[in-house]
Structure 1
Amino acid sequence: MQELISRQLVRYLEERGVEHVFGLCGHTNIAVLTELGKSSIRFVNTRHEQIAAHAADGYARMKKKAAVVLSHLGPGLTNAATGVANAALDSIPMVVIAGDVPSHYYGKHPHQEINLHADAAQWEVYRPFVKRAWRVERPDLFPEIVEKAFQLAESGRPGPVLVSVPMDIFSKEIDTALFERLRPHTRQLEKPSLDEAVARRIVQALIDAERPVIYAGGGILLADAAQELEQLVDHLGIPVAHSLMGKGALRDDHDLTLGMTGFWGTQFVNDACRTADLVIGLGTRFAEADCSSWDDRYTFSFPPARLIHIDIDPSEIGRNYPVEIGAVADLRQALVALNRVAREMLPAGRRNEAMRARIARYREEFAAGNATLIREDRYPMQPERILSEVREVLPRDAIITTDVGWNKNGVGQQFPVYVPGSILTPGGYATMGFGAPGALGAKLACPDRVVVSLVGDGGFGQNPALLATAVEEDIPVVWVVMNNCAFGTIAGLQKAHYGTTTGTVFAKDGQPYTPDYAAVARAYGAEGIRIQDTAEFKDALARAIASGKPCVIDVLMRNNPVPTSGHWNILDIYSPNAKISHVSID
């Protein structure tokens, strides 16, 4: 039987269990939109393709399967590119289906085509950051391309893929047997584990080490392996440090959680890693900020420390540090094997009470050092107080999204996460503008959990039109705009090294300037609260959460830098040998 590709595509998505498609209309994709209108799949309509891509990213992080973005050609596809690249650098599975120029117009430069170097070449725009980009050249090839796209996006190291479809192909008929023949194919590939001999070598090394440290990355969360990690930690008594993306891999109130490393880490955590005699890296790429620009005076020192590295992506093993044992495996499967072997080789386990006591003392000292800032009553608010009161109000399993600046770096350092996978942050690409729309996707994926976006005024200002989607789709997210009237982190850098804030602070006639984001929210039909006094914030947040409506809380914040004892090589580029970091901006 012959049937339209657009209709068969939507049926295929339904059969895969796709519940939401994120996107924006265009003349190249309305055939698909028409079929979605007849479907159980909910089309999440956005005002900008970057919003769609970021929302899909947040959705995929919580669902742990590929999200779907439907895009128009040309400017639609390039608008989405930043969000898709962010997903790629954070290893988030995504299938982007984009309309393309009609196949019979190749070479004629039709409307909105990208063709400065080759005809019908828009798919090449995505090649640097997607796992693969397809351009569908024949209607009969479309079904197997879509099947391959989902499989590739979700397997190995997850990531986005692009399927670029000439708009006339969406409106062609093909035999339904071409899609039907795909139905017996598995929807999920089996994942690699560790063999017995390798697992035993790794466990023996951990047992023999005097000062071992587990270094957890985002791969733990992608593999849904937090429970297995905690089992290993509890049995062997090994402390856990984490990258920014690995925050929450071991809950922050576990008595062997050290904290985040690197430039935004603390002296205690960095020293614990630097003086370890054995580090086992799990699902991490040892990125620059997490490793203090790989300077062995600050966070990691290989050698003399020895490194074991397990990751699903072989290209990350040994990329930045020499590895004694490197293993390619799914982190959940690997930890299952390590737990089994550890219980055989060391049945009684061990407690490591000395390290537990050291961590407890460190936490007490850190809390004491922040106490004055948390109690500070002046307005604008101290960022430490904002984070503290947000944590007090939120339920333990609440989901938070962050953006860039204090709301990312400060949260990584200071904000306790109690449920693995409940913090979504842009790590690899560090995209300003992710946090606010990412929260939309997280709430759609987990409608029964509270979702709060901690975002700066610079980040929220990137795409405030996301509020239209929140109102139209009844998505009750609360956005806390930590408003310092600046791109604060960069302003602090520029002021420290160059004595100016040109282009980094928002001002008019010499005075700080900010839109009234609460009024903007109300204009879109959402709730909006503008905090006027520090004492108002906590109750306002509680009311916003209880309202069950999308709400923006605009709170002015002091522009103080996140305290850091780590290192970032860019500081040496700005001011060689001067040991200068950030400063406060009044």
Structure 2
Amino acid sequence: MTNMKGGELIAEYLVQQKVPYVFGICGHGNVGMLDALHQVRDQVKLVSPRHEQCAGHMADAYFRVKHQPVATLTSTGPGSANMVMPLATALSDSSAFLAITANVPTSQANRAPFQELYAHNQSDFAQVLRPVVKRSFQPSRVDMLPLALRQAFDTMVTGRPGPVNLDIPYNVFQEEAEVQVPPPSHRHGGHRPGASESDLAEATRLLAKARRPVLFIGHGATLANASEELTALQQQLGIPVITSPNGMGCVPADDPLTLGFIGRNGAYPANQAGRYADLVVCIGTRFDDRSSSTWQPGYSWNFPECALIHVDIDPAELGRNYPPTLGIIADAKVFAGQLLHAVQAGDQVRRGNFAAWREQVGAWRAEWEAFVRPNFEAITTPLRPEYVVGALQSVLPQDVILALDSGVHHNWFMQFWQPQRAQSMLNSWGYSSMGFGVCGVLGAQLAAPERPCVAVVGDGGFMMAPYVVATAVEYELPCVWVVWNNFAWGAIRDLQYGLFDGREIGTGFYKGTQGPGGERYNPDFAAWARACGADGITVTRSEDLRGAVELAVRNRRPCVIDVHVDSEVRPPSTGTWQLPPIPYKEPVFGQPRRG
């Protein structure tokens, strides 16, 4: 037992857990903790972006790349309130970080001091975060910290990962007590449950009975590092694989049986395979509305005509939207390995069983390619969206980490991007938070300093957090932002044109009051970058894009590439998506399976 300040104990535990970074913003409530971090600054580096939201997204992206949690630090009141959105983003996508928030001193609780929430309970900020974290701990004395710290780290990474809040009255950072640094958490990478023998036998039986099976994999597969097992299973069985955005890269993108994303803006072969499958083996994903055509039968999936094996480490996700034929609580990596071994050990499931199915999938791929490929080489001003995706695919290195923000550009990348590695395409999928890609690329770069990190972001999203360029310059992070500049909140403008007969209001960026049809307006993003000390390039012609991207990556400096993209070209829908009670639209390419 050692006499330690609360802040010192927290800092020492971060060192023990090998947490390399704390992303945070200073405030009067956390100066005591900052002083403790000063003592360990050679082992834990404080990175201070210009907004708390950015700190949260950076920590989220760091975990997605590295699969190791880091911490954030915010002060009382507004600073910590700015963490709500990134915490919701991380929780929705099963990403983990420790959000340390400061609260008012215990001696002042329930007296309405500066920045206390007290209407329902004293020091009540933890209740603000309750819906957006896996667990919130509120130690009010130094001797409560050891247990809270150990439990916080265990909770973050046990089972389905998620963010955890440690809400600490700021007197606790400076008060002292006889305490011991708790033992380190050993849970990360452990606790991997597998399927029972009976469940595995039933899964094998269903697979042997099927003639048109598909694998549907998501973020659970990525977080479990299941790429090797899933790739071997895909090759052993010779069956198509459909992915959620956060599952992309888990199996080889260039395999003809890797069909990509499914849903309204998914690839046509993926939707066709989902519609006509007689068995879906779903591993680590949850059939949300966007990856299921809002659960409309025959548009992406055809349950219950089609059998479903649903595997997830979180029992709450089993049967949430589609009752499974067989539900299995298991780790994605363990289950994929078990199923591969069972298939190899027996003679019930043979690759030859699915030859006709592979041929049909190949025909759908050929149809889709013939429809979309010509636009990938179109030379236009402004640039066609397909050209932008294709150009980046051709010039960015295979080890690139692509951080995507929310917006219409994300729809194009979900439909056509082919990531070469697992967790190299970062998406805010569950919560679709604008700013995630803009800020998250900084955390990705810190997690993988040797790899090129490129954010593709909308003009609207970039303007929500343009300070990131200054942070990149300050910390010498060679991030590249490709701004998809279509002078609009493009995804929502597209909805107005698709669902409201083009009655555009509030979605385009226009100078003055004339609105749609008037002069479009955006700042000069390249000039903004140069004002921050970064490189800035404006691209208005197709011929200039590849060279600009190659130069930015080669220079290894922060860079903003302002790309003017044609806002009148919309992603071809191959499924559907409904905003009830508005009637849903039929696909632009392909037809649902009726009956």
TM-score range, shorter chain: over 0.9
CA distance in 2, matches of 1:374, 1:198: 45
Mapped pair 1:79 → 2:89: no
**Residues 101-138 of structure 1: per-residue CA shift (max 9 Å, x gap):** 11110111111222233221011001112111121122
1:265 counterpart residue number: 266
Letter in 1 for 2:326: I
Letter in 1 for 2:465: N
Q: What SS is found at the alignment partner of 1:470?
A: helix
Structure 1 pair 581–488 and aligned structure 2 pair: CA distance change class (3 A): farther
2:575 counterpart residue number: 566
2:8 counterpart residue number: 7
2:125 counterpart residue number: 122
2:240 counterpart residue number: 239
Q: What SS is found at the alignment partner of 1:511?
A: coil
**Residues 172-228 of structure 1: per-residue CA shift (max 9 Å, x gap):** 112242x24x25866654221112222122122112211111111111001110111
Alpha-carbon offset, residue 573 of structure 1: 2.8
CA contact (8 A) 2:30 2:170 kept: yes
For structure 1, list consecutive stretches of 5 or more residues without a partner in the other structure: none
What pairs with 1:118-267 in structure 2 (closer than 5 Å)? 118-177=121-180, 179-180=181-182, 182-183=183-184, 189-267=190-268
CA distance in 1, matches of 2:235, 2:118: 57
What pairs with 1:485-524 in structure 2 (closer than 5 Å)? 485-498=487-500, 499-509=502-512, 510-524=518-532
CA contact (8 A) 2:485 2:565 kept: yes
What pairs with 1:311-326 in structure 2 (closer than 5 Å)? 311-326=312-327
Alpha-carbon offset, residue 236 of structure 1: 1.5
Letter in 1 for 2:228: Q
Percent identity (aligned): 37
CA distance in 1, matches of 2:298, 2:343: 32
Mapped pair 1:481 → 2:518: no
For 2:538, which of 526, 530, 541 is the aligned residue? 530
**Residues 396-437 of structure 1: per-residue CA shift (max 9 Å, x gap):** 121101111232211111111121211000100011111111
CA contact (8 A) 1:244 1:290 kept: no
**Residues 131-168 of structure 1: per-residue CA shift (max 9 Å, x gap):** 11121122211111011011101111111111100000
CA distance in 2, matches of 1:361, 1:421: 29
Q: What SS is found at the alignment partner of 1:378?
A: coil
CA contact (8 A) 2:84 2:132 kept: no
2:103 counterpart residue number: 100
Alpha-carbon offset, residue 364 of structure 1: 4.0
1:47 counterpart residue number: 50
2:515 counterpart residue number: none
CA distance in 2, matches of 1:129, 1:415: 30
CA distance in 1, matches of 2:33, 2:185: 25
CA distance in 1, matches of 2:362, 2:478: 37
Q: What SS is found at the alignment partner of 2:245?
A: coil
Alpha-carbon offset, residue 82 of structure 1: 0.5
CA contact (8 A) 2:96 2:163 kept: yes
Alpha-carbon offset, residue 263 of structure 1: 1.4
Alpha-carbon offset, residue 476 of structure 1: 0.6
2:333 counterpart residue number: 332
Q: Which has the larger displacement, 274-283 or 260-269? A: 260-269
Q: What SS is found at the alignment partner of 2:265?
A: coil
CA contact (8 A) 2:153 2:185 kept: no
Q: TM-score, structure 2 length as denominator?
A: 0.94
Structure 1 pair 184–543 and aligned structure 2 pair: CA distance change class (3 A): closer
CA contact (8 A) 2:22 2:72 kept: yes
Q: What SS is found at the alignment partner of 1:280?
A: strand
**Residues 66-103 of structure 1: per-residue CA shift (max 9 Å, x gap):** 22111112101111111111000000011101111111
Q: Which has the larger displacement, 155-164 or 193-202? A: 193-202
For 1:384, which of 383, 386, 397 is the aligned residue? 386
CA distance in 1, matches of 2:188, 2:375: 51
CA contact (8 A) 2:576 2:585 kept: no
Q: What SS is found at the alignment partner of 2:246?
A: coil
Structure 1 pair 358–578 and aligned structure 2 pair: CA distance change class (3 A): closer
**Residues 338-375 of structure 1: per-residue CA shift (max 9 Å, x gap):** 12111111399525444444444444443332333222
1:298 counterpart residue number: 299
CA distance in 2, matches of 1:512, 1:35: 50
**Residues 207-260 of structure 1: per-residue CA shift (max 9 Å, x gap):** 221111111111100111011111111112221112232222222111221221
Letter in 1 for 2:522: T
CA distance in 1, matches of 2:321, 2:404: 27
**Residues 538-564 of structure 1: per-residue CA shift (max 9 Å, x gap):** 101000000010100001101122111
Alpha-carbon offset, residue 324 of structure 1: 1.3
Alpha-carbon offset, residue 496 of structure 1: 3.0
Q: Which has the larger displacement, 541-550 or 261-270? A: 261-270
Structure 1 pair 212–187 and aligned structure 2 pair: CA distance change class (3 A): closer
Mapped pair 1:550 → 2:558: yes
Q: Which has the larger displacement, 199-208 or 499-508? A: 199-208
Q: What SS is found at the alignment partner of 1:248?
A: coil
1:449 counterpart residue number: 451
CA distance in 1, matches of 2:375, 2:72: 43
CA contact (8 A) 1:70 1:96 kept: yes
CA distance in 2, matches of 1:334, 1:482: 40
Letter in 2 for 1:18: V
CA contact (8 A) 1:270 1:566 kept: yes
Q: Which has the larger displacement, 30-39 or 230-239? A: 30-39
CA distance in 2, matches of 1:534, 1:186: 49
CA distance in 2, matches of 1:89, 1:83: 10
CA distance in 1, matches of 2:584, 2:259: 30
Structure 1 pair 331–184 and aligned structure 2 pair: CA distance change class (3 A): closer
**Residues 508-555 of structure 1: per-residue CA shift (max 9 Å, x gap):** 132111111111111111111111422111101000000010100001
CA contact (8 A) 1:218 1:249 kept: no
CA distance in 1, matches of 2:588, 2:463: 26
CA contact (8 A) 1:62 1:446 kept: yes
For 1:58, which of 61, 64, 72 is the aligned residue? 61
Mapped pair 1:413 → 2:421: no
**Residues 381-409 of structure 1: per-residue CA shift (max 9 Å, x gap):** 11110110001111112110111123221
Alpha-carbon offset, residue 37 of structure 1: 2.5
Q: What SS is found at the alignment partner of 2:28?
A: coil
CA contact (8 A) 1:60 1:92 kept: yes
CA distance in 2, matches of 1:423, 1:522: 27
CA distance in 1, matches of 2:18, 2:358: 44
Q: TM-score, structure 1 length as denominator?
A: 0.95
2:399 counterpart residue number: 397
CA contact (8 A) 1:497 1:580 kept: no
CA distance in 1, matches of 2:184, 2:259: 47
CA contact (8 A) 2:400 2:452 kept: yes
